Structure 1
Amino acid sequence: MTTLTEAVRAGSTADVLRLVTDMPAAQRRACLGELKELRTELRGVPVWENGAERVRRALHLAGAACHTGAASAAAWLAAGDMRWSQAPTDALLRALECRDAAWLADVAHRLAQRPLSARVRYELMAGLVSRAGCEVPVTDAYVIGWVRHISGRSLSRDGMADLLRREPHLARLVGGVFTLSDVGEARWLLDEGPGWWQSSVAALAGEGLLDRTSLIDACVARLLRGGGPTDHRTFLPFLTELALTREEERARIADWTALARDAASPVASHAQTVLTALALDGDLTTRQLAQASAGLLFRAEKKLVRAQLVLLAKVLSRTPSSAAELLPVVAQAFGHEDTQVQERALKLVERHAERLDSAERGELVTAADQLTPALRTRAAAALGVAAVGSEEVFEEVLPPAPEPVRLEPAPATAAELAEELSALLVSDGDVAAFERALDGLVRHAYEDADALREALAPVLARRWWAADEPRQWPRVDDMFGTTRYGTVDARDGLDLLLATLHGKVSTATLHAAVRQGPNEHECAHSGLARVFDARLREVAYRLRTEPLPLLLATPTWGTGLLEPAELVDRLTEYRRLDARVGAADFAQALLRVRRTDRAAAGEAAARAKALGTREGGRLARWLTTGTPALGGRLAHGLRTGTTAADPVRRRTKGVRILVELGEVPELRAGFPQEFGRLGRPLSVFTDRRHCAHWNEAIRPHWLAVLPERRELVAARLLPDLAATAVDDERGAAALPLLAEADGAAGEAVHLCVAYGLGARHHEDRLAAVDALLVLAARGQLDAVRLGTDLGELVGRGAVKARRLAESARTGAATGAHATVWEVLRHALPVPLAGLATARPEAAAVAARGLGDLLAVAAECAERCGARGDVPHLPETADRAGSSRLATQARRLRDALGVEVAA
């Protein structure tokens, strides 16, 4: 063992530095072998172990000094396993200062090219650059390190300016700030505030230490390039602090035009302000103004579009001869979703259309086809034509009703099954993929468990429980035993079965899990979660003790439905094999079997009874028993009560409207204990504080528990859907599947969709719109019920009108104008009534977002030719002023053909 290695093991960086300084290059190279062995040894030692950190620091210094190649030295210096225990920077620089300048420059540039995550210290890179006398590297790691270094030493704006003045590479590094690929961790340092970067850089440009023109070009180029969604917050202040002169602004008209068209809203607003000033001062030609306006009028931001129309109005008034070039650009606003913007644009055309020739008017006639029907009439009069657009015959467009997908047979070979299981363990997959794989696992384990285990070997390599010496926490038995809340997702269930198949779970644990179930608190989801979990635990126990030949409950269709004839065939196979049926598997099969096709059910019942088995008789009785009509529409006077035929009852909890379920006796009698919870009454006051069912991926499998009784599932999902609107949580992804499921779509289903339409997150609202359209396409949408529910929720404050307007606009954009109108027709009266009766101080709150909702309703009514009246609409339309609320109320009133009282 060399003296250097002894010094490293002693953790003495001083001795290491002294030794490597005196060593010739050949001797240093000779020490590398022992240092690498020590590095390998230290990888298994915790950092916090006594003395380990000091040893790592000494090792880091020794290795850096002993590597004679620049690439290997840089790799050692930036090694991930020594990232948090590096030698002091001054010691590293002293150990390397004997190298020639080219070598030092090479190492510096290699370190600077490392990603930010490598955490290479700026002081080390800067020290190497200084000793090498080389050009400073302008990489993300180096520039952000420099920004962090300067910001950390500056306590004031003046202090930062002084630090920047002393920087020998100032121009190159400041330029590097504008070429960062990712502002990353330096964002908060660069933003205007404690560091005062923008104002300090602008001051240095004023002093001549930075070239002003180059700096402006760099700012504009970065803003044109874009980047992250908040990058403009960093770089736009650099530009505004420079306070460009009119000459500098005039030299960059093309840049302002591009920024106004494509940049983030704040940047586009700044560019628009510059262009407006230039236009009003006569520094923009008509063609340049037209080009800038063409980009701006296509933007979605109403504020920008309106401001541009105001500018165009001023220019047209001052220079009427520009009408031929500017009015076709104005007409681009005819297609804007905001009818007030459309009307502003039309007013400009009305004012200046007389200056156009026939060809130019023809171009505007074509564009005017995008206007609302009421505005088209005005456009036709202004352009001197009989009518604008063709007479359209409205046709409602709904998506095709989804067709159920039949499950493919289980994978034929163990190798195919292993591939499918590997994919499912990476992504949860859908119900069909999971059920196919589950059935295949059971079948192949029954036929040849050893061959199955051999095929699964590559799959197990990445499972946490598959190691020869698994971690002590969590223990495998604890994860899959009764101490666990239950199956969090489908992957949990597959892990349980695979771990059982490979002997990683004890038989006693499996037996206790089947007998006791998971240790969980009661919540709205418990019934569904218990059924899904009980079946998997039973399959796992039988894999160990008495493998099942096949699963009875594997569905026929992707929704979870099981055809009765197919279930009878499986029971026949069980009788032929003299195999014992799994109680939970058979119970799940009963819940999944189709009973609504009475002819098929009767035929299958006769075959089942002829089997002469206990399960055959139970299936025959189940198929011939009628099902209660859950979810059917209640009479108006009974909406808050229960009936003998319908155990659904509406209840309120704070601002929420939820449903309670009465007892469903047929789901309790004759079913295993775990299934009995499905038939118990459900209260809206069920305690959910300790609910472990947080993973949305499990919800499609809950829908497959009761595929013909979606109202029971929806009632249990309703608190989660309410939270997406009231508490801004996530969780509406299952709504389209709920709409595709079978069974009545009643109170609970429609309330779920209502909350989803008012959800905080855009993705959840899209899922709700999909569900709405699917229900409509299947003829199962009760527009009166959904609209009334939405009106009540908006009135209570559970759903925000603006969010609902966005959802309605999305649905209408698909072509479903009549459907959306019918929903909104019944949603509007309650918030309109609340607005009419609100005290003056509360009126603004009551009106928030209602103008947007009325705009969508008016658009739909105009498109589908709706007629009639909406309660409380005339009072809103008669409000004084030109607010969006009053304007859109009048538009809707006119579209419905309501006469205005004299």
Structure 2
Amino acid sequence: MSELIEAVRAGRTAEVVGLLDGMTDAERRAQSPGLKALRKELRSARWDAASRRAYPALHAAGAACQTGAAAAASWITAADMRWSGLSPAVLLHVLGDRDAEWLADVAHRIADRPASAWVPYELMAGLVRLSGCPVPTTDAYVRGWVQHMGGTWPRGDTILDRLRGDAYLTDLVAALFETHDIGNALEWGAGDGPNSWSDALARLTVEGALDRAATVDACVARLLRGGTTADQRAFLRVLRSLALTREEQRERVADWSALASDAASVVASHAQSVLGSLALDSELTYRQLAEVSEAVLFRTERKLVRAQLVLLGKVLARDPAAADELLPAAAQAFEHEDADVRERALKLMERHVKKVRSAEVRTGLALAAERLGPALRARAVATLGAAPVDATATVYEEVLPPVPRPARLAPAPSSVTELAEEVGAAMAADAGVTGFERALDGLVRHAYGNREDLLEALEPVVARRWWADPRYLGADRRYGDLRHGMLEAADALDLVLATLCEKTRTDTLHSGLQQGAPTRNCVHAALSRAFEARVWEVAYRIRTEPLPLLLSTPTWSTGLLEPDELVTRLDTYRRMGARVGAADFAQALLRVRREDRSVAEAAARRASALGTAEGTRLARWLTAGKPLPPVVRRRTSGPRILAESGEVLELQEDFPASFRALGRPVSAFGESRYCYHWSNALRAQWPAMVPERRELLAVRLLRDLSGLAVDDTRGTASVLPLLAESGGEAGEATHLGVAYGLGARHPEDRLAAVDALPVLAARGQLDASRLGADLGQLVRRGAVKPTRLAESLRTAAATGANATIWGLLSHALPVLLADLATDGPTGPIRGLGDLLAVAAECAEQSGARGELPHLACTADRRGASRLVREARRLRGALMPVEVAA
């Protein structure tokens, strides 16, 4: 062993540097093979004490002994060297004797690495300084520069002081405006004060260190490109710090118009204020103001739209000649989703319509007013000449989505190559019920009759699994010792693959089959135990007595299994003399379709004729009648309304122990709080386990679903569309789950609930009075925020389900208005006006009529708050036509 290698292995970095300093280039190159061999050796035990001690010295020695710039850059930035802890100063020292061109090449190569490579900025900057090369303006270099300049320095100087002394200031600032997602780094630790980036860049333009025109152009262009919220906020702060002159603002009217039309709200608001100032100083033409107004009034942000209407009113009050140009633009607001905006636009028309000179413009305004709702349109008849509403001309028709049709599962792949591809895809990403079931059935079928070819085809898939790496599983350990059960569906396929590859012990498989993985008594335990039992059985039978096929593979994507298909599979087992798996058969019984009694009874006769115990059991199951839902009762806990269920005796008889827990009572509070069932991919499998027993699943998921609204958790609502497409009664637990989803914190969860709502309605399974009352109580208890609920319901109504949403709100609002009518101690619920606005819109669109309890008390309150205005609007919409007249 050479002296250098010995010093590296011992971790004596100072000695290594001294040895390198005394070597010629040829001697350094001669050490490279030994260093590479040592690196390979250390990789296998990267985190032990000897490796951690050796890596800093290895990092320095390997970099110094590389001949080519590419090899040196690769060594320096390698993933295994990333956390070596070696100081950049040491690397600069050992590389400092190379020629400038070589150093420049290395500098640019390591600067080209992604920022995730965590190359120290001090190293990149040091190489640039040593070589004298042009500064790199890559993403990694600019990010490193920003963090270095904005960091806390021991001298206590400011960002401005540091930037003044930077020789590459102009190039790096220009690159800064081109760097994506840099806003957080610009804002971190600096804020708006004198030590901020925005203040420093503004002062450098004043001092002349930066060209002002180029900086302003770059900043505006950066805002026009869009980007993350942090980027928009940071570069807007820079733009404001530059304090543009009126001349600079006039030069960029087109840019302000584009930003006001399409930029993020905070940027659009700034652009709108600049344009408003120009307009009020007569530095915008009417045509320019009209064009930007049409775009801004199309936006959803009420604050921006109201500000634009106010601006139009000011311009029209000052110059009546602008009416012909500006009022048609203001008419765009007649189609805004917010009723208050529509009313403000109508008031603007009423105030200034007499100033219009063109008959053609008047006609256009009258036609535009026909897009208003009934109440506002009645006002427009008198002021704008709009045609009156003809109550007999149109009849509202509810638009609900077609009832979803489940997809039939294709047979398992007949080719082992195709099966291997599907297994790999199912493990790499969430393949849902269809992908998982096809992969599992295919593995079972080919393991029975084509095992050697299957193993060969699976080699590329297996090679990527962690348990195939000997560093993780040594000779004394085997995959399958699952301490927490299967965390996601891919774990089930992992167990089957590991069994095929002889990576599991038979006693482990037997233990899993008999007892399952240890699990806490969480509310999901019954579902996870039943899911896992079938997989453990498949793995054990592959080792001991392979199954020819799975009885429980569903026919449809919802998990339903056709009775005739199950009878045919049982007949195949009978003819082959194969022994049926208990868990596989139990899952098949839970999936077999029983709601169609004629089909079930015909299949039962065929099953009885098989003459097998399983055939007789299936016949008895099919003739037992439709599945009965569990008895569900409500319980409350803080702001939550939860549910618990009683025993389902049908699932306690003639089922394996691993499935009986599905029929046991479910408590809302008794289960352990410690739960590992975090994976939404795993939850997506559960509806397909009990496809005709929706409430059995919903009651076990209800606490998770409540967390979407109460605890601001994320993701659980993805199961709601699956529940909506399932079979069985949609009862208390299902409706409560949808209610929590509609009030979820995160938009994607609210959209999942919105997707589920019209599906239940289209299938005739939505109880509007029950869901409405639930929503009212949840809002009243503080579990659901009205603003979130209003957004969800507005989205659902926009699909054409106005009558459905009105049906919900007609039962939710009385609960909330009752407290207001009695002057409860808490006062009006914040956001109640938003719910009333959605209700008024739905009532107007659907033609709903009648009285809403306690609405009159709210509408008669003094003042003009949003709550009172929307209550009056809703009362006007619900009044019969003859009374309104």
TM range (shorter): over 0.9
Written as runs of structure 1 = structure 2, the 5 A alignment for 1:402-481 is 402-467=404-469, 470-471=472-473, 475-476=477-478, 479-480=481-482
Give the corresponding residue for 2:496: 497
Give the corresponding residue for 1:80: 79
Deviation at 1:406, TM superposition (A): 2.2
Matched, 1:853 2:835: yes
Give the corresponding residue for 2:777: 792
Give the corresponding residue for 1:749: 734
Q: In the alignment, which of 393, 398, 401 is matched to residue 400 of structure 2?
A: 398
- TM-score normalised by L of structure 1: 0.91
Give the corresponding residue for 2:201: 201
Deviation at 1:154, TM superposition (A): 4.4
Q: Is the 8 A contact 2:632 2:643 kept in 1?
A: yes
Looking at structure 2, the residues matched to 265 and 49 of structure 1 have their Cα atoms a distance apart, in angstroms, of: 53
Matched, 1:359 2:341: no
Q: Is the 8 A contact 1:190 1:234 kept in 2?
A: no
**Structure 2 CA distance for partners of 1:473 and 1:868, relative to 1, 3 Å:** farther
**Structure 2 CA distance for partners of 1:828 and 1:103, relative to 1, 3 Å:** same
Written as runs of structure 1 = structure 2, the 5 A alignment for 1:584-663 is 584-627=583-626, 629-630=628-629, 647-663=631-647
**Structure 2 CA distance for partners of 1:713 and 1:76, relative to 1, 3 Å:** closer
Looking at structure 2, the residues matched to 851 and 496 of structure 1 have their Cα atoms a distance apart, in angstroms, of: 54
Give the corresponding residue for 1:679: 663
Looking at structure 2, the residues matched to 439 and 153 of structure 1 have their Cα atoms a distance apart, in angstroms, of: 59
Give the corresponding residue for 1:643: none
Q: In the alignment, which of 675, 694, 700 is matched to residue 678 of structure 2?
A: 694
* Other structure's SS at 1:651 match: strand
Q: Is the 8 A contact 2:524 2:677 kept in 1?
A: yes
Looking at structure 2, the residues matched to 251 and 892 of structure 1 have their Cα atoms a distance apart, in angstroms, of: 47
* Other structure's SS at 1:658 match: strand
Give the corresponding residue for 2:804: 819
**Structure 2 CA distance for partners of 1:474 and 1:707, relative to 1, 3 Å:** farther
Q: Is the 8 A contact 1:560 1:707 kept in 2?
A: yes
Deviation at 1:796, TM superposition (A): 1.7
Looking at structure 2, the residues matched to 367 and 155 of structure 1 have their Cα atoms a distance apart, in angstroms, of: 65
* Other structure's SS at 2:644 match: strand
Deviation at 1:53, TM superposition (A): 5.4
Q: Is the 8 A contact 1:156 1:195 kept in 2?
A: no
Deviation at 1:302, TM superposition (A): 0.7
Which deviations, in whole Å up to 9, do the C-alpha atoms of 1:474-532 show, x marking residues without a partner?
9535534xxx3433332222222222222222221222222223322223222222222
Give the corresponding residue for 1:896: 878
Deviates more, 1:591-600 or 1:750-759: 591-600
Looking at structure 2, the residues matched to 529 and 456 of structure 1 have their Cα atoms a distance apart, in angstroms, of: 27
Which deviations, in whole Å up to 9, do the C-alpha atoms of 1:395-417 show, x marking residues without a partner?
21111101232222222233332
* Other structure's SS at 2:643 match: strand
**Structure 2 CA distance for partners of 1:44 and 1:498, relative to 1, 3 Å:** closer
RMSD over equivalenced CA pairs, Å: 2.8
**Structure 2 CA distance for partners of 1:80 and 1:446, relative to 1, 3 Å:** closer
Looking at structure 2, the residues matched to 409 and 97 of structure 1 have their Cα atoms a distance apart, in angstroms, of: 66
Paired AA for residue 387 in structure 2: A
Matched, 1:771 2:756: yes
Looking at structure 2, the residues matched to 316 and 869 of structure 1 have their Cα atoms a distance apart, in angstroms, of: 41
Give the corresponding residue for 1:269: 269
Give the corresponding residue for 1:635: none
Q: Is the 8 A contact 2:396 2:845 kept in 1?
A: yes
For structure 2, the residue ranges without an aligned partner over 5 or more in a row are none
* Other structure's SS at 2:636 match: strand
* Other structure's SS at 1:843 match: coil
Written as runs of structure 1 = structure 2, the 5 A alignment for 1:170-569 is 170-183=169-182, 186-187=185-186, 188-189=188-189, 191-192=191-192, 195-354=195-354, 355-387=356-388, 391-467=393-469, 470-471=472-473, 475-476=477-478, 479-480=481-482, 484-569=483-568
Paired AA for residue 710 in structure 2: V
Which deviations, in whole Å up to 9, do the C-alpha atoms of 1:839-860 show, x marking residues without a partner?
46x214x2x1111111111111
Deviation at 1:539, TM superposition (A): 2.0
Paired AA for residue 413 in structure 2: P
Deviation at 1:95, TM superposition (A): 4.2
Which deviations, in whole Å up to 9, do the C-alpha atoms of 1:124-156 show, x marking residues without a partner?
333333333343333333333233333335479
Q: Is the 8 A contact 1:795 1:834 kept in 2?
A: no
Which deviations, in whole Å up to 9, do the C-alpha atoms of 1:536-590 show, x marking residues without a partner?
2222222222222222222222222222222222222222222222222222222
Looking at structure 2, the residues matched to 831 and 331 of structure 1 have their Cα atoms a distance apart, in angstroms, of: 35
Deviation at 1:28, TM superposition (A): 4.5
Q: In the alignment, which of 649, 660, 665 is matched to residue 665 of structure 1?
A: 649
Looking at structure 1, the residues matched to 19 and 426 of structure 2 have their Cα atoms a distance apart, in angstroms, of: 57
**Structure 2 CA distance for partners of 1:141 and 1:587, relative to 1, 3 Å:** closer
Q: Is the 8 A contact 2:744 2:788 kept in 1?
A: yes
* Other structure's SS at 1:149 match: helix
* Other structure's SS at 1:660 match: strand
* Other structure's SS at 1:393 match: coil
Q: Is the 8 A contact 1:192 1:234 kept in 2?
A: no
Deviation at 1:338, TM superposition (A): 0.8
* Other structure's SS at 1:221 match: helix
Looking at structure 2, the residues matched to 467 and 99 of structure 1 have their Cα atoms a distance apart, in angstroms, of: 41
Q: Is the 8 A contact 1:148 1:189 kept in 2?
A: no
Q: Is the 8 A contact 1:60 1:82 kept in 2?
A: yes
**Structure 2 CA distance for partners of 1:467 and 1:211, relative to 1, 3 Å:** closer
Give the corresponding residue for 1:638: none
Give the corresponding residue for 1:634: none
Looking at structure 2, the residues matched to 556 and 109 of structure 1 have their Cα atoms a distance apart, in angstroms, of: 58
Give the corresponding residue for 2:855: 873
**Structure 2 CA distance for partners of 1:879 and 1:90, relative to 1, 3 Å:** same
Deviates more, 1:338-347 or 1:411-420: 411-420
Which deviations, in whole Å up to 9, do the C-alpha atoms of 1:25-78 show, x marking residues without a partner?
55554554444444444434536534x556544444444444454444433333
* Other structure's SS at 2:213 match: helix
Aligned positions, number: 880
Deviates more, 1:23-32 or 1:336-345: 23-32
Q: Is the 8 A contact 2:183 2:231 kept in 1?
A: no
Looking at structure 1, the residues matched to 600 and 285 of structure 2 have their Cα atoms a distance apart, in angstroms, of: 79
* Other structure's SS at 2:633 match: strand
For structure 1, the residue ranges without an aligned partner over 5 or more in a row are 631-645
Looking at structure 1, the residues matched to 487 and 54 of structure 2 have their Cα atoms a distance apart, in angstroms, of: 44
Deviation at 1:722, TM superposition (A): 1.5
Give the corresponding residue for 1:886: 868
Q: Is the 8 A contact 1:60 1:86 kept in 2?
A: no
Written as runs of structure 1 = structure 2, the 5 A alignment for 1:2-21 is 8=8, 11=11, 17=17, 20=20
Give the corresponding residue for 1:574: 573
Which deviations, in whole Å up to 9, do the C-alpha atoms of 1:732-763 show, x marking residues without a partner?
11111111111122222212111111111111
Deviates more, 1:9-18 or 1:854-863: 9-18
**Structure 2 CA distance for partners of 1:469 and 1:809, relative to 1, 3 Å:** same
* Other structure's SS at 1:504 match: coil
